[in-house]
Amino acid sequence: MIELTDVTKAYAGGVHALAGVTLTIAPGDSVAVVGPSGSGKSTMLHMMGTLDRPTAGRVAVDGHDVGRLTDRQLSALRARRIGFVFQQFHLAAGVPVRDNVADGLLYAGVARAERRRRATATLERVGLGHRLRHEPRELSGGEKQRVAIARAVVGEPALLLADEPTGNLDSASGAAVMALLHDLHASGTTIVVITHDQQVAAGLDRQIHLRDGRVVSP
């Protein structure tokens, strides 16, 4: 699903956010990315999500060599194959929950009525079928994150990338969110989760440890 070969990301000032990362994530894997703050976790997730291009090295996602695709082709790859979940939820304020989720299909070329139908089905799947017309501000943090996950997976992506998805949640809501991610993994989605939480990391098949932009053994 993901192949990074000698991937480097350098920023002005000589910071190497990634300094030669080589790894493979197979279809159906569930992976935790762990490491101290500033070790390159978010930068690596951005590479995997084709949100950013490496300074050097090769990134392949779902069989596509990212370096050979135009920005337009990368957008299409993201829209069809990759879902993203962030610590801060990033829901549209003032927009009902169902439309927040339906908008996850805007770039997949799905007609409006069908977008709404699929959004409803996905919200039912995450246990929020009774909140379709609520606005984000009317929901708890855990419910917001379940909406964000519904939006990320409404297009049935092969790959789900999550950056600290439980970082803003109390432990009960965090556990519910992780149960949902495990459920998606069980149905075949490849998941990669950045986390500081040992328990979350231990619950996934594999851990990748980063330090100073490199993969290290624990």
Work out whether 38 is an interface residue with ligand ADP (CB under 6 A).
yes
Binding-residue total with ligand ADP (CB under 6 A): 11
Q: Kindly state whether residue 35 participates in binding ligand ADP, applying the rule CB under 6 A.
A: yes
Burial tier of 184 (Cβ tally within 10 Å: 0-12, 13-18, 19+):
buried
Q: From the list 11, 75, 124, 140, which residue makes contact with ligand ADP (rule: CB under 6 A)?
A: 11
Q: CB–CB of 196/34 below 8 Å?
A: yes
Torsion angle (degrees, nearest 10) of CA 171, 175, 177, 179: 180
Contact segment (CB under 6 A) with ligand ADP among 39-47, 70-78, 92-100, 130-138 equals 39-47
Nearer to ligand ADP, 36 or 129 (CB): 36
Give Cα 102 to chain centroid, integer Å.
17
- Candidates 31-39, 110-118, 127-135, 147-155 — which segment interacts with ligand ADP by CB under 6 A? 31-39
Residue 40 interacts with ligand ADP (CB under 6 A): yes or no: yes
Min CB(133)–ligand ADP separation in Å: 36
Angstrom CA distances, 146 to 26, 53, 57, 172, stand at 25, 29, 35, 13
When binding is defined by CB under 6 A, the residue of 14, 37, 93, 172 that contacts ligand ADP is: 37
CB of 18 to ligand ADP, least distance (A): 8
Options 41-49, 60-68, 78-86, 89-97: segment touching ligand ADP (CB under 6 A): 41-49
Whether residue 208 contacts residue 201, with contact meaning beta carbons closer than 8 Å, is answered with no
Q: How far apart are CA 34 and CA 26, in angstroms?
A: 18
CA–CA separation, 97 vs 139, rounded Å?
9
Contact positions toward ligand ADP, by CB under 6 A? 11, 15, 17, 35, 37-43
